[in-house]
Amino acid sequence: MHPLAITDQEFILFQRLIYKIAGIDLADSKKVLLVGRLQRRLREHQFTSFSQYYRLVSSGQNQQELQTMVDLLTTNETYFFREPRHFDYLRQEILARRPRNDRFRVWSAASSTGEEAYTLAMILAEALPAAPWEVFGSDISTQVLAKARAGLYSLERTQGIPPELMRKYCLKGVRSNEGTFLVSPELRERVTFDQINLTQPIPRHIGPFDVIFLRNVMIYFDAETKRKVVAHLLPHLASGGHFIVGHSESLNTITDQLVAVQPTIYRKP
């Protein structure tokens, strides 16, 4: 079946729409990706043009389809123990210096399918066996949040998980679940997920957090959106708390409310 074609004018409409909703600056080079991810939805609705689909999702009459479009265009690659230097810093510097019995909270603010949140949970379970802790994960996509809550992954996704943590916190599937693993219930019950659009004001009850991870998502934002997102997150970071971004990202010129501890790792005074 031949892919449906999109005109430059139609692509611009979708660029503006996804920017308005999610703050994502969809590059011109992503046109093929957009067509590949949305053409099944056009066929589902028996549309013959992207203009028809645009009218449906932009009309405000079908929020479910709009959310489906957002899910399809915002799903990003993630994996366990990605960029491990940050987890080393969390373990060796932040957790090692915290008051022993204080509650410790971490926010995975662009959690996608949950690998980062469960990585954090494994680290906290090991470092704080007797202290109260929790991990909160959020994403704009309901589709990836459903996968995150399930905590069920292909065994191919285990790369990066240390073998001792794999044995301790991951249950290998058998019979119909062969080829998968399930994050253990003891970890899943300490990790919660919710849908949050970081470009919109965030409910006050979410915080405060000792550490906020916002990694590998700002690369999709322009400077104005980056400033807006960080401004929405900072009120939820406790004084003395850490804010961590991806290795290809920086908060230089984005905010003056944080102090750089080392590249990609910042602290709130």
Distance CA 162, CA 17 (A): 41
Residue 1 predicted with pLDDT over 70? no
> Which pLDDT does position 3 carry in this prediction?
66
Burial category of 48 from C-beta neighbours within 10 Å (exposed 0-12, middle 13-18, buried 19 and up): exposed
Task: Report CA-CA distances (Å) from 214 to 9, 111, 116.
Answer: 33, 9, 10
pLDDT at 177 (0 to 100): 80
Burial of 101 (0-12, 13-18, 19+ CB in 10 A): exposed
Mean pLDDT of 56-82: 85
Q: Which residue has the higher pLDDT, 237 or 29?
A: 237
Please give the pLDDT value at position 174. Answer: 81
Higher pLDDT, 21 or 54: 54
Q: Tell me if residue 170 falls in helix, strand or coil.
A: strand
pLDDT class of 241 with cuts at 50, 70, 90? very high
Q: Which domains does the chain have, with CATH numbers?
A: 8-74 (1.10.155.10), 84-267 (3.40.50.150)
Tokens encoding 35: 């067509």
> What is the spatial distance between Cα 35 and Cα 55, in angstroms, rounded to a whole number?
16
Q: Does residue 49 have a pLDDT over 60?
A: yes
Backbone angles phi, psi at 129, to 5 degrees: -65, -25
Q: Is the pLDDT of residue 257 over 90?
A: yes
DSSP state of 4: P
Whole-angstrom distance, CA of residue 125 vs CA of residue 112: 21
Q: What is the mean pLDDT of residues 35-64?
A: 90
Give the residue numbers annotated as catalytic, written as ranges. 37, 139
Q: From CA 1, how far away is CA 74, in angstroms rounded? A: 25
Confidence label for 157 from pLDDT (cuts 50, 70 and 90): confident
Per-residue pLDDT reduced to its tens digit, 159-207: 889 999 999 999 988 888 889 999 999 999 999 999 999 999 999 889 8
